[in-house]
Structure 1
Amino acid sequence: MNEHTAGRHAHRGLNRRGFLVTVGATAVGAALATTLPERAGAAAGAFRVPVEDVRHTRTWMAWPDSTSIWGGRLSGVQADIALIARTIAKYEPVVMCANSGSAAKARQMCGATVTVISSVPVDDCWMRDTGPVFRTDGHGGLDAVGLNFNGWGDKQTHARDALVAKRIASYVGVPFTRADLVGEGGAIEQDGAGTLMATRSSLVNRNRNPGVSERQLETAMCEAYGASKVIWFDGVRGQDITDDHVDATSRFLAPGEALVQMPVAADTDAFARDARRQYSTLTASTTATGRAMDVMRLQGPDYNKIRSTNRDFLASYANFYLCNGAVISARFGDRRADEAARTTLQRLYPDRYVEQLDIDRLGTGGGGIHCVTQQQPAA
């Protein structure tokens, strides 16, 4: 699951798929406990997680099939996942992980351009959070790190998803280590040159890392990502299932360059206030090398003008996905804002084609395109 972001409606309950089923923490926690003893601490060495605009070998995705999670929304979410997969497959290979009982449907809906495998079973579709974080060493080496996914703090079932990162690494045939923290890929943004950004609300949280200090988390994050500095935002705690992931509000474009999705002036809820604070924090920050941050604004839509009327809807242009030759983003029905976002992304990535997709069913689940994808960078 994933996301959060700037400019959402006020008066939310448990957002970011707040309608999803919470599974008993005892059973789920036991599933995670079987994997945690394998953790060996991800020694960075020469390996680091590159910025996301590097060339990819493939994109990894996951096929949702749980009516206990999605209820009557499942078919619509599957249609959105298939649309995203088919669109990315025009630019680079896509591998969809599906359970054996739903692999045939995934193949039928995704089409021949998407590879569907059933050897990596999944609980849900949020590959950004469950998949491996791939690292490169600049000399042809590739490995993978697992972030010990625990269902966003035991908020959703994850017995299968807790094993996805390791199983994909095995499928690819690369070394795999476990980070010394519990978290999700959507919780951490990297510039590929030593700087990370993340929200305290998601990671410095007893539902992921009880008894672990912010300083200790910084060390673990930097070891895992091959970085040396973390830019922290306070975030929003307890109002969405992710506890406010960073990747629907702030993104790195390049070393020293970032983008923040800004809410419209009338939006004053917790997420809108947090987005403004993230922008302020970034403009006052420096990179790991001491360079002042160059921070761009990406204007978010007016929630009164988008198609969805669901109060938990995620309308994040910033939750875009970079693939070889393209930027895959969303549009929400605020035509002026949709076109302005397309223009901004085209200006930022002039050598890539900008694709805007209608993914309202996924957005109603509180997620976006970046949330359901995980890149495997070319070594």
Structure 2
Amino acid sequence: MVALGTSTTLTAQTGYFVPSEEARHQRTFMQWPVNRRVHPDPLFLEMAQQTIADVANAIADFEPVTMLAHPDDHASARRKLSSGVELWDIPTEDLWCRDAGPIFLVDGNGGLAVSHIQFNGWGEKQVNARDSKIAAEVANRLGLELIPTGLRGEAGAVEQDGHGLLLAHESSWVNDNRNPGLTRGEIETRLLRAYGADRMIWTDGVWGEDITDYHIDSLARFTGPNRVLINLPDDPDMSDPFHVAALDTHDALEAAGLQIEVIPEPTIRRVNSIDFVASYANYYVCNGAVIAAQFGDAETDAIAEDALRRHYPGREIITLNVDPLGEMGGGIHCATQQMPAI
């Protein structure tokens, strides 16, 4: 199912909007993972921390990075982080800054604010006593207005092009674990206001099969106005709800008249778990570079890198082994949140 709607937006009321990710940044925010209820295996937690450090250090070669962590965790984090990564005293549980971190708005005249979509642990599926406060605490530290949206959810569940268009799976929003009692139309109106956008494409997604209820940023990403990269299997399994939902999203984007490029999923992987997320689409665009995953499949890794080079000309393409993030159901984009330049 696909729907394309319009609504009164935050842009019309205040001039604020969320810029595209490829617009220039002041810095990148990230979160240091520490919670042992979330990560009970100390060896895996160490791997997750090193992976987050690798991503942060790669970004720090291109722009400032701020790592959020409890003061008690600064010493251990500092040992893994480069000098280009600053530590702030904001306590964290897990690493998913795209979802728990602040969504920054600009007004084009030097104004900056935070659009507050309340994180609730993907529908209270995970402990979030600290992470649910992060967006507000960052806004407070920066002295920025926190603009309420009336929504619970995550920025990883909505893709935006910075030019008025949003894309989302219903399963991550029209869901009683996030927004009970709200219709899709009501949620759409609030999302459009939250991002300063005026159009939205919905597709069904997948309810209840993963912790995120199928975040869009592991499937499809805007690379410019009306232009999309999407990660699809070469040989879809029509008994797999994620494959069916991915193909439905592709068809919806095509029906909306967008320019689409398909990147195949890797067929050779270092991790063969059925729950492993091997998404080339879950990359991060920073100043001068794209930080992306490679999965050990020489052919598809090269196809993805070439596609990113075409879509983001003039930027370096930096590829990393971030398999621990895939084992946790996410990727590089999920772990980062940009603060735009003003």
Fold shared per TM-score above 0.5: yes
Show the counterpart of 1:71: 40
Contiguous gaps of at least 5 residues in structure 1: 1-40, 286-291
Show the counterpart of 1:217: 187
In structure 2, how many angstroms separate the alpha carbons of the residues matched to 1:181 and 1:61? 22
Q: 1:84 to 1:318 in 2, by over 3 A?
A: same
- Residue type of the alignment partner of 2:181: G
Show the counterpart of 1:56: 25
The answer to whether the Cα contact below 8 Å between 1:283 and 1:293 also exists between their aligned partners in 2 is yes
Structure 1 residue 111 displacement after superposition: 2.3
**Moved >4 Å (runs of 4+):** 41-44
In structure 1, how many angstroms separate the alpha carbons of the residues matched to 2:224 and 2:141? 30
Q: Which of 323, 326, 329 matches 1:360? A: 323
- Residue type of the alignment partner of 1:121: P
Q: How many residues align?
A: 330
- The structure richer in strand per residue is 2
Q: TM-score, normalised by structure 1?
A: 0.85
Q: Which of 271, 279, 289 matches 1:308? A: 271
- More RCO (CA 8 Å, sep 6+): 1
In structure 2, how many angstroms separate the alpha carbons of the residues matched to 1:89 and 1:332? 22
- Residue type of the alignment partner of 2:283: F
The answer to whether the Cα contact below 8 Å between 1:42 and 1:177 also exists between their aligned partners in 2 is no
Report % sequence identity: 44
Structure 1 residue 165 displacement after superposition: 0.4
Structure 1 residue 101 displacement after superposition: 1.7
Does residue 246 in structure 1 map to residue 216 in structure 2?
yes
The answer to whether the Cα contact below 8 Å between 2:166 and 2:200 also exists between their aligned partners in 1 is yes
Structure 1 residue 266 displacement after superposition: 4.7
Show the counterpart of 2:56: 85
Show the counterpart of 2:67: 96
In structure 2, how many angstroms separate the alpha carbons of the residues matched to 1:78 and 1:91? 21
Q: Which of 245, 259, 262 matches 1:274? A: 245
Show the counterpart of 2:4: none
Deviations 1:217-260 (A, max 9, x none): 01100111101111001001100000001001011111111121
In structure 2, how many angstroms separate the alpha carbons of the residues matched to 1:75 and 1:362? 12
In structure 1, how many angstroms separate the alpha carbons of the residues matched to 2:177 and 2:144? 30
The answer to whether the Cα contact below 8 Å between 1:42 and 1:179 also exists between their aligned partners in 2 is no
Root-mean-square deviation (CA), in Å? 1.3
5 Å-filtered alignment, 1:73-152, equals 73-118=44-89, 120-152=90-122
SS of the residue aligned with 2:75? helix
Show the counterpart of 1:46: 15
Does residue 327 in structure 1 map to residue 290 in structure 2?
yes
The answer to whether the Cα contact below 8 Å between 1:320 and 1:329 also exists between their aligned partners in 2 is yes
The answer to whether the Cα contact below 8 Å between 2:117 and 2:153 also exists between their aligned partners in 1 is yes
Show the counterpart of 2:165: 195
In structure 1, how many angstroms separate the alpha carbons of the residues matched to 2:236 and 2:228? 24
